[in-house]
């Protein structure tokens, strides 16, 4: 089965120019947006950051090591998913890096399938990440977009009532409840019920 590789900005940090070139060729062939960095310091100085991105990070480099960069990013609460690139014999260090938050490690040179699978895992990590809480003012502004009936439906949704129960309580059809739910998600810019519950807390 082919790996799912959602389009991400993939930052590759490695001091070996040939590794950077081969990674760029591979990832660009699979439609990824690739940014190359010859050192950990260069990555930290980069302004080319987005929400949908991951980091392929060499473990051992002159100057700041991959594990040191990982520590710096963790201290900043930077959520970028990290995949460690390791040489032979570095597996115990890579395992420690995973315990510290890296999502995967690949022994160099790594196969195409391994690299694409790691990027797919990063995409899943980003997709499943709980968004940061919205400021109260932003939530209030979104709630103000709702009609009175939509707000009634929302109040029942967030306490876990089914569409049928809401329809019975409000004297409307289940289809009407479904339409209200769809409009509520749009107006509140919510991905689903879990987002709505978080907002209403």
Name which of 1, 39, 36, 2 is nearest 20 in CA terms: 36
What pLDDT sits at residue 170? Answer: 95
Name which of 84, 77, 81 is nearest 53 in CA terms: 81
**Average pLDDT estimate for 47-63:** 87
Task: Give me the CATH code for the 136-200 domain, please.
Answer: 1.10.10.10
What pLDDT sits at residue 131? Answer: 66
For the domain with range 9-127, which CATH number is right: 3.40.50.1000, 3.40.50.2300, 3.30.565.10, 3.40.190.10?
3.40.50.2300
Distance CA 16, CA 39 (A): 9
Given pLDDT bands bounded at 50, 70 and 90, which one contains residue 3? very low
pLDDT digits (tens, 9 = 90+) for 103-156: 988 888 889 999 999 999 999 888 887 666 778 888 999 999 999 999 999 999
What pLDDT sits at residue 1? Answer: 33
Given pLDDT bands bounded at 50, 70 and 90, which one contains residue 5? very low
Count of other CB atoms within 10 angstroms of residue 18: 9
Domain boundaries, the chain: 9-127, 136-200
pLDDT at 58 over 60: yes
**Average pLDDT estimate for 161-188:** 94
Name which of 10, 19, 95 is nearest 55 in CA terms: 10
pLDDT at 48 over 90: no
Global pTM? 0.64
**Average pLDDT estimate for 73-88:** 89
């Amino acid at each position: 089965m082919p790996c799912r590789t959602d389009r991400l900005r993939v930052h590759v940090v490695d001091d070996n120019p040939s590794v950077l070139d081969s990674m760029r060729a591979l990832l660009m062939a699979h439609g990824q947006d690739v940014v190359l960095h010859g050192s950990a310091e260069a990555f930290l100085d980069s302004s080319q950051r987005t929400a949908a991105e991951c980091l392929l990070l060499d473990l051992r480099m002159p100057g700041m090591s991959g594990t040191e960069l990982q520590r710096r990013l963790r201290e900043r609460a930077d959520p970028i998913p990290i995949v460690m690139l390791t040489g032979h014999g570095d597996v115990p260090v890579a395992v420690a890096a995973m315990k510290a938050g890296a999502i995967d490690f690949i022994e160099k040179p790594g196969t195409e399938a391994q690299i694409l699978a790691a990027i797919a895992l990063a995409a899943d990590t980003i997709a499943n990440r709980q968004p940061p809480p919205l400021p109260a003012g932003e939530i209030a502004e979104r709630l103000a977009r709702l009609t009175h009936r939509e707000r009634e439906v929302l109040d029942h949704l967030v306490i876990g009532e089914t569409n049928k129960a809401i329809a019975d309580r409000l004297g409307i059809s289940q289809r009407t409840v479904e339409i209200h739910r769809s409009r509520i998600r749009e107006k509140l810019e919510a991905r689903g019920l879990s987002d709505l519950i978080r907002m209403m807390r």
